Structure 1
Amino acid sequence: MGLTSHKVLALALLLAVALFIGTVLLWPRLAKRSWRAVAGRVGMLLATQLAIFAAVGLAANQAFGFYASWADLFGREQQQGVVSDQAAGGGGAGPVQVVALQDVTVPGGARAAVGGQIQKVDVVGPVSHIATPAYVYLPPEYFQPQYAHRTFPAAVVLTGYPGTAQALIKGLHYPQTAHRLARAGTMQPMILVMLRPTVAPPRDTECVDIPGGPQTETFFARDLPGVMASHYRIGRSSGSWGIVGDSTGGYCALKLAIHHPGTYVAGAGLSAYYKAPIDPTTGDLFHGNKKLRNRADLMWSLEHLPPPATSLLVTTSRHGEHNYVSTRAFMKKVKSPTRVSSIILDSGGHNFNTWRREIPATLQWLSQKLTA
């Protein structure tokens, strides 16, 4: 059974309850002062606490999508994907392979022309040679006859680190929110390409082209928009692509919009930070290259590089978010022709509940910036 299986969570909860009841019932027998009784009490308490901790951890992982599998949890997921050619009639060979379809959980979602569709795909970057899974939300209009020759704007949607792409669907409800807003007429129909920034697991590459390592920035700036536009009816004009993310994904979204305005005309960072960290999850990102290190610092980029013709959106809260002060400083550094907008909540932590409050306005903002 998988890490995100409901059966695993149910078993963990049952074990925790059983150990708690067992501890209560057996405690009188273990009330003696012998070493066996003391060891029994310590063992029962330790086992109960571990079971409760495991159940809480599994529940939190399902709610926030930190890890997708046991291998992902224990750091054994390290191999990149392999491209496999498919026979005629099986979807064809290419950098984008559709591997599964799923309905959108909205009224009438069983019909693609009513609810849209989510496609799980395997993507391979022809320049970066990075392979990663993603989920693509196609709006209902994509399947309606009157829109058969229309192209659509698209947005890359990124999780935090480590994150799972499924969390963007199950936890943050991006497809459901986009469907609801488009149906209400407050945003235009848009294709969402949902994935995590961890395209070389388990390493946190911070969307940086690492010398001698994964070329993550190249993948997101060049490969991903190109191969997706070749596979789906996505507009090829300079205003067709936006990008949004939370936490690490938010940093990546802002970074890519700042450094690649010809690709992303709008970038939104939900609870983003503004400088790539160096820690055990990232390793040495820059190999002593000061130019690369400075470029990955968005404050430095705004101050020292020519201002890009792109639109940025940043979010924070006055109470509960760690990035309030840095976000205010970031906005002050923006110079024309770069445009900056913000969502500032009175209170809200670094979590899914806060981001769900910000996503509707963020998608509407993106919709206003993009053209098909």
Structure 2
Amino acid sequence: MQLTGTPFLLLTIVLVPVSIVVALLLWGRVRGPKPFQALSRIVMLLFCQITAVLMVFVMVNNANLIYGSWDDLLGTGSHVRAVPNLQAGPEGGDPGNDAQHAKVIQQFKPVDDPKVPGDVRTTDLKGQVSGVDGEVLVWLPPQYDDPAYKDKSFPVVELLPGWPGSSKTWFGTLKVSEQLKPMMQSGQVAPFILVSPRTTLLDDSTDTGCADVPGKVNADTWLARDVPRMVLDNFRADPSADRWAVAGYSAGGHCAAKLALEHPDRYRAGVSLSGYNDPAVEDKSLTAKDPHLREISNPLNILKSAKNPPKTSLYVSGNKGDGLEAGEALKAAAKPPTSVTVQETGGAHSSDVWKPMIPGVFTWLTGVIPVRH
């Protein structure tokens, strides 16, 4: 039974009145010594409370897709098959033009979750370079199958969830494809291919910080090389870095800014919604625990230490104390051709803030990503 499935949700709802009825029926029938009677009734009350808390948890989790599976919730699923030493290997460059690249054609299927639209597809990808295995969700714009576009390649946006978070969240909670489809059809927004890869990779559900951590995980390589390669192998995606962007919210926003500044040869733009610069904001991040990783994973440090200002455009949003200051620091440090747009927001650190921002964010992306005719 799936964690986010309707059957499990219905089960938790049914268990609440059942637990109350059971407690009422058995309350006066408990026999034995007084301590035993008292303990039995405490257990009944606890059972009622547990079922109620479980129901609320499942409702909240289903609404926000914080945990996409039992493995994510329990921390029982590792997606790291190997941790190759990449320091001696090739770095940078177009992920579609690696001489060692063995082309892999993936099989795609519908996402088994009622909250995710039926036109979103998923595949299980084995990362050839990173040693990471995980699902990747893909949505194709309405123009993709239009005969008028049969010879056209499409721009791509990678969508990163927060931590903890699921690759389904952008589609299931933020409704990104449902919001953008009519805007793409009307020409308000460019016809982007949307790609959401798994970012929770370790069996203890530790936040990887989207970094390559020696001996632990090659999360950066998974996101910036293996996932783009898969997209280029299987779809008419434009290989030019000028036609790629990466976007995220919360911890995913931190990752988006980091990846965009770190790999200007792969991404033209990055979007950070309520993200942060210093990895130590997330105390369970692997990059926060190592002083060197903490320094080199900070988008502000990446920007300041670059030999040449990267040709990168950033859109950073946040409330005071929740991402705004990070965006202002990046804007102050940016020099052409780097540009930073900062948007102050209100409200809590939640999907209720990020969801209505999607049309504006993708309108901005459409202005940044050059249109090819």
The TM-score range, normalised by the shorter chain, is 0.7 to 0.9
**Which one of 207, 210, 221 corresponds to residue 204 of structure 1?**
207
Cα gap change, 1:137/1:340 in structure 2, threshold over 3 Å: closer, same or farther? Answer: same
CA distance in structure 1 between the partners assigned to 2:287 and 2:365 by the alignment: 34
Q: Which residue of 2 aligns with 1:87?
A: none
Count of aligned pairs between the two proteins: 347
Structure 1 residue 221, shift from structure 2 partner: 2.2
Structure 1 residue 15, shift from structure 2 partner: 1.2
Cα gap change, 1:222/1:284 in structure 2, threshold over 3 Å: closer, same or farther? Answer: closer
Instruction: Map 1:176-255; keep pairs closer than 5 Å.
Output: 176-201=178-203, 202-255=205-258
CA distance in structure 2 between the partners assigned to 1:60 and 1:205 by the alignment: 24
Q: Which residue of 2 aligns with 1:135?
A: 137
Q: Taking every aligned residue pair, what percent have the same amino acid on both sides? A: 30
> In 2, are the aligned partners of 1:95 and 1:125 still within 8 Å (CA)?
no
Q: Which residue of 1 aligns with 2:316?
A: 314
Cα gap change, 1:255/1:284 in structure 2, threshold over 3 Å: closer, same or farther? Answer: closer
Structure 1 residue 38, shift from structure 2 partner: 2.8
Q: Which residue of 1 aligns with 2:355?
A: 356
Cα gap change, 1:238/1:8 in structure 2, threshold over 3 Å: closer, same or farther? Answer: closer
CA distance in structure 1 between the partners assigned to 2:325 and 2:153 by the alignment: 40
Cα gap change, 1:164/1:96 in structure 2, threshold over 3 Å: closer, same or farther? Answer: farther
Report the AA paired with residue 207 of structure 1.
Answer: C
Structure 1 residue 302, shift from structure 2 partner: 2.8
Report the AA paired with residue 224 of structure 2.
Answer: A
**Which one of 87, 92, 97 corresponds to residue 106 of structure 2?**
97
Cα gap change, 1:100/1:259 in structure 2, threshold over 3 Å: closer, same or farther? Answer: same
CA distance in structure 2 between the partners assigned to 1:226 and 1:4 by the alignment: 30
CA distance in structure 2 between the partners assigned to 1:43 and 1:238 by the alignment: 60
Partner secondary structure for residue 319 of structure 2: strand
CA distance in structure 2 between the partners assigned to 1:149 and 1:329 by the alignment: 42
> In 1, are the aligned partners of 2:273 and 2:323 still within 8 Å (CA)?
no
1:11-48 CA-partner distances (Å, limit 9, x unpaired): 11111122234546766778xx9434432432222111
Cα gap change, 1:42/1:68 in structure 2, threshold over 3 Å: closer, same or farther? Answer: same
> In 2, are the aligned partners of 1:211 and 1:287 still within 8 Å (CA)?
no
Report the AA paired with residue 358 of structure 1.
Answer: M
Report the AA paired with residue 338 of structure 2.
Answer: T
CA distance in structure 2 between the partners assigned to 1:286 and 1:48 by the alignment: 40
Moved more, 203-212 or 135-144: 203-212
CA distance in structure 1 between the partners assigned to 2:105 and 2:276 by the alignment: 31
1:189-222 CA-partner distances (Å, limit 9, x unpaired): 1101112322445342111111233222122223
TM-score by length of 1: 0.83
Cα gap change, 1:278/1:355 in structure 2, threshold over 3 Å: closer, same or farther? Answer: closer
TM-score by length of 2: 0.83
1:310-329 CA-partner distances (Å, limit 9, x unpaired): 000011134xx633334333
Cα gap change, 1:239/1:43 in structure 2, threshold over 3 Å: closer, same or farther? Answer: same
| Structure 1 residue 76 corresponds to structure 2 residue 76 | yes
> In 2, are the aligned partners of 1:96 and 1:121 still within 8 Å (CA)?
no
Report the AA paired with residue 312 of structure 1.
Answer: L
Partner secondary structure for residue 140 of structure 1: coil
What are structure 2's unaligned runs of at least 5 residues?
83-101
Instruction: Map 1:333-372; keep pairs closer than 5 Å.
Output: 333-345=333-345, 347-371=346-370, 372=372
Structure 1 residue 232, shift from structure 2 partner: 0.8
What are structure 1's unaligned runs of at least 5 residues?
83-92, 111-116
Report the AA paired with residue 357 of structure 1.
Answer: P
CA distance in structure 2 between the partners assigned to 1:126 and 1:322 by the alignment: 36
CA distance in structure 2 between the partners assigned to 1:200 and 1:71 by the alignment: 10
> In 2, are the aligned partners of 1:182 and 1:188 still within 8 Å (CA)?
yes
Structure 1 residue 178, shift from structure 2 partner: 1.9
1:240-273 CA-partner distances (Å, limit 9, x unpaired): 1001011111111100111111210000011111
CA distance in structure 2 between the partners assigned to 1:29 and 1:329 by the alignment: 66
> In 2, are the aligned partners of 1:210 and 1:286 still within 8 Å (CA)?
no
Structure 1 residue 57, shift from structure 2 partner: 1.0
Partner secondary structure for residue 168 of structure 2: helix
1:153-207 CA-partner distances (Å, limit 9, x unpaired): 0110111112111222111111112202112321111101112322445342111
> In 2, are the aligned partners of 1:243 and 1:253 still within 8 Å (CA)?
yes
Partner secondary structure for residue 261 of structure 1: coil
> In 2, are the aligned partners of 1:204 and 1:282 still within 8 Å (CA)?
yes
Q: Which residue of 2 aligns with 1:61?
A: 61
1:302-357 CA-partner distances (Å, limit 9, x unpaired): 33334211000011134xx6333343333333232211112222x22111111101
> In 1, are the aligned partners of 2:132 and 2:218 still within 8 Å (CA)?
yes
Moved more, 159-168 or 264-273: 159-168
CA distance in structure 2 between the partners assigned to 1:57 and 1:120 by the alignment: 26
| Structure 1 residue 263 corresponds to structure 2 residue 262 | no
CA distance in structure 2 between the partners assigned to 1:284 and 1:206 by the alignment: 6
Cα gap change, 1:34/1:101 in structure 2, threshold over 3 Å: closer, same or farther? Answer: closer
